[in-house]
Structure 1
Amino acid sequence: MQHQDRDQFIASVALVIAELYGQPPTLNLETTLQQRLNPLLDSFLFESQAIVATEATILIADIRGFTSLTEFFPPPALIASLNRYFQITSELVNHHGGWIDKFMGDAVMALFGAPQSRPDDLKRALICAVDMQRSMARINREAEANGEPSLYIGVAVNTGKVMAGSFGSSVYNEYTVIGDAVNLTSRMEAYSLRGQILLSEASYQAARDFIEIGAVNQVQVKGKSQPVTLYELRAIKHPVRLEVPPIEIRKSPRVQVDLPLAFRRVECKRILTERYFGRVNDLGYFGMNADLPLVLPPHTEILINLLGAGMSELGLETASDVYARVLRCHQIPGAYRTHLEFTSIGTRGHQQLKHYIDQLLWRG
């Protein structure tokens, strides 16, 4: 039982006692009840919520890019948006028969199958995940119309064996789950894009008859010797069709970096001789953002060469050439932030790039 749940319970008991004696509840009464009932509750919870091995579906939803929003919106606006997000996700978890395990910063972890198990735990978790994305899309449209910040979430769903029960001590304890399945869900969530729902192999295999998937990605995660396959959930086919609203135009996760690069322009399939230097600040499987010393119009082709520290960071033994196309560019103090899409990169170079990004994601 969480701290706030105990407070509500004791306040309700105080109200019942006050009504029986025909007097309004007092602070002294609630304080006395807390002193007398809390030890009894501790003992009861430890006995009634013994730690057991069970199967559960874990859902973790996390806001994408929340830190960057703090640069553009005042705290009151962000707090209001954050509380609205917690309210909506909590209501949906309860509506679909799940259990809110905890809030972790701007993330929500929910359980389906613990403490109460049902035959359709996975299906209810997936419907809940889709409803979360559909609800966030709706409130973001309303937020944008009112000039308020939009919040985008990524969701991970995994099914597996966990240890469930009351963990802690007589001083503080709570019902939760632990185990490899929980750790994997947390790692998976880092790979989800804005508006995306990712499924583990276990969840996909159990749900494949009633879902539609999109992209499939193999990633390396901490604690696993072999790559983990992640499946993008696009739609649930029955009992009623529910589609995940398309939001994110990116094709891969992104990581913040600070790597040196050199580049030359390519015109009419000819590499020009003049060389420029810049720094990569954002990196994905298929593109990057870089701060460059000059304006490059959209569709400009360039040849990028990662230098020194950039090569060693990526694990490259020799200079790696990557062809890229400019998508857009805008001025920042002292440079031009340029968004680039890779157009040509060798197989080994791409594998090393992907491995580097995956490592940064699970380290974070």
Structure 2
Amino acid sequence: MQAPIHKKPLLLYLATNSYAIGALIAQEDGGGTEQPIYYISHTLKDAETRYLRAERACLAIVYASQRLRHYFLAYEVWLMTKSHAIKALLQQPILSGKISQWLLQLSQYDLRIGTSRAVKNQAITDLLAQFPGEEEFPLDDEIPGEVAMAEEVREQWVMKFDRSSITHSGGVGVVLYHKEDKTVALSFKLEFPCSNNTTKYEAYLTGLATVLEMGVKHLKVLGDSNLVVCQAKGSFSLKEPSLAPYRAMAQRMEEKFATFEIEHAPRNENRFADALAALSSQIICKWSSTNIEVSKREESIIEVLKEKFREEQGEGDWRIPIKETLVKGDDTAELKILKDYALVKEELYRRMPGGILSRCVG
């Protein structure tokens, strides 16, 4: 390793595999020999392990630019690669999703593309990717000049899903949470033959599709299905041919999120989604959709109706002016009104012949 020579361009070499990325900064010395300046490596996590090869290479460039920002700002940097896929990716005029965010971050640097010549440095980079170091540097999603937008995009939603299957049909329940101020509950009835495992994936994909339609970019999934969660993490292999289309579609949808996490949740923490799935599987309906609202009530319906009738009677209740007169003790009021009525425990009574008090009703 040596210190860089001022005003001489730096050469960036990349290496990637399915679980790590590596990058090496080099520079030609006075004799034209490339000398290493700095190297980095990073272990891929969660959704990063499912990136395509060109996307992993682009991720390596972004990671290197953030980790070695002082070099990228002070020098002209040449990306040395023979990969046509990377070149095409970096030169595409229209991109979306995470690739577009990465390219916007890289636009602040003087980054150019060259053809790799030194096999030695590329071999060193490949070796670094095979043995990533312990140091971890968090990736930054912030786009230069758009701090407010970056903060808004980072808002994370939580999705819980469950399924219920009976002999002839099944049901799917999905619950979406945004912090603590917003909850979206969805229930879907499946009127086609599906096995227990396919119903689990139907619930999972239905939730992902709904979240993507809402424009959510950062998602955390909680489910009590070991099959779906462990296959998404890569710890379970796919053995059922019927699940192959589901798993392939799930991978495509997971890659559309800027950040994606999936974890197993105990069944007792997934009761809301389970109830929605059970509801849709049990009902028999001839309509395509219906809205069902569940409201929480903390008192008996009797008390609710009493209060409602009190409010309805309040506007035209003939007793109210008399009650107010008795409470205020207005001397200007007619003595006839005062002598015929009395208040007992806030209830109005009228004196009948013989001194009997009769309660007044509305």
Which one has the bigger strand percentage? 1
TM value normalised by structure 2: 0.25
With CA pairs under 8 Å and 6+ residues apart, which has the higher RCO, 1 or 2?
2
Which one has the bigger helix percentage? 2
